[in-house]
Amino acid sequence: MERPSRLLLVSELRVRNSAYDVSLSRSLLTWKRRTSSPVYHPFRPRFCVPSFPRRQASGVCHSVSVSEIISVREEEEENGCKDDGSWKKINEREGKDCRQAFTVLYVERCQQHRWRCAEVSFTCPEGALCQRWVTSIREQLAAISTPKQLLVYINPYSGKKHGKHIYEQKVAPLFALAGVTTHVIVTEHANYARDHLRTEAELKKFDGVVCVGGDGMFSEIIHGLIWRSQIYGGVDPNCADESLLPSSLRIGIIPAGSTDCICFATVGSNDPVTSALHIIVGDSQPMDVCSVHHNNTFLRYSVSLLGYGFYGDVLTDSERKRWMGPARYDLSGVKMFLTHHYYEGTVSYLPARGIMGNPRDANRCRSGCVVCQHNGRLISEKAERYQMDEETDRESEGEWKTIRGKFLAINAASMSCACPRSPKGLSPAAHLADGTTDLILVRKCSRFDFLRHLLRHTSKDDQFDLNFVEVHRVRRFCFTPRPCQSDSDLDLRENGKHQIFGQICRNHPACGCAPAYSSWNCDGEILTHKAIDVRVHSNLIKLFARGIEEPTVFDDLTNPCAI
């Protein structure tokens, strides 16, 4: 029978004494049990609590994508056939079938978007065939762009201070199995990784940068990489109108923080093993980044949430309670809800026109997102036109809109901001790489109405279907606290204690010491200024991730792991 041209190798091999037809193509490794063979389950999960094996129907077929194979190793199946030099062993060896075997380690999907490293061993009738299989699989793996050398930063103080233990016990063994070499740096203080990446790190010899920690650690990494790319490319980071240059290195996140919002929104799980496997197979997920400026002075980059009002107040209050650990966010959240502060200001924004999707549709950003791909192409085409005509005003295509009012919260979500506590996130339909951010304005309302809005973050109800909430998908926006009032005026008012106590008490009957302005929460860090200019830069960084996979990918699990 002539072998199909698309197959590279086809053989009859054995798995635990059962006969299988095994084939290898450029994209798939497939093994199918012959109907006359005894029924055995071929899997031996690693780094996962095994479930009870299921009996398989005759002729069941298993396929693994070549891109999700971690490694392959050759080994001798019969340990008892090893020669120790005695005549007795030599005589026994002549009567045994000392066949050669190879083991394939690959990604296996479990429940709740988790991945595990599983393995299957194939026994060959002869050593030459075994070597041929091992060589063929390794040749296919070599053609895939997987990382070989990684720069790893570990924050030993993130979350519950388990970062180093998580890396050594769960991640490093997987990297070793995959043949990935690492250079590990344990950070000594805040912004250590950022400063090291800006000046000292020799990035040319690495295929990616991995951070072990929380969202703050990830923020340090992107600030170091993006800043370095702009300086080396001759771009002024302080100019808000400059188009930033993307970083060439992919970033991996090993979650070890308090919330790990970015990891959850890009992978679907805050599981270190899952994140490590995404890094090993070389996944690539582009992501938008917002630059935040004040009067043409660079402040910070943001990839998840910019929050003024409620979320800014929660962060400011929680910073005084760091001794409490992650529980401080719950306490500060309740306190800020009860104080019920609102703030006056002006929001100007540039709507994203001519794009696919809107903040209130049912299209969620998932792996292979059509919305991100479509809008990304539009942005690339526009960028090419701008290069041809340098005098074209890049913001002239749309008309700026302005909203003035009293707000309980002003949020800009560049991703869903989903986390285990809020599976939907602040903006469920926000996308990772569509070149926009969702601007959410929550106007002054009663405590009961604001509670309704907050509770909808954890329910299936539309959290924007309230008359005091509006959401806009924008490419850029500016905020000024109180009309015609600058940061310097606000500072003078605060330092001089020129508070009109009567007016404050009338506006905030529950609290007579309400502040005149809030603070911006930028990915968990407090900004030093209130008046800001925010611009979205499309596909500025890439992660070792592929986006959240659809639930159907996980429905048919031959060996679900116990979670």
Contacts of 480 (CB under 8 A, 6+ apart): 345, 346, 486, 531
C-beta separation of 11 from 133 below 8 A: yes
**What secondary structure does DSSP assign to 468-524, as a single string?**
TEEEEEEEEEEEEESTT--HHHHHHHHHTT---HHHHHHH-TT-TT--S---EEETT
CB atoms within 10 A of CB 339: 17
Signed CA dihedral, 387, 392, 398, 401: sign only:
positive
Rounded CA-CA distance 417/59 in Å is: 44
- By the 10 Å C-beta count (0-12 exposed, 13-18 middle, 19+ buried), 76 is classed as middle
Catalytic residue among 215, 260, 271, 283: 215
DSSP at 465:
-
Q: Is 461 a catalytic residue?
A: no
**Any idea which residue has 């991730």 for tokens?**
545
Tokens representing 181 are: 């070499």
Tell which residue, 270, 225, 220, 237, has the closest CA to residue 525.
220
Task: Say if strands 149-154 and 181-186 run parallel, antiparallel, or are unpaired.
Answer: parallel
C-beta separation of 137 from 72 below 8 A: yes
Rounded CA-CA distance 515/154 in Å is: 38
Identify the H or E element spanning 106: strand 100-109
Rounded CA-CA distance 309/419 in Å is: 21
C-beta separation of 273 from 116 below 8 A: yes
Q: Which of the residues are catalytic?
A: 215
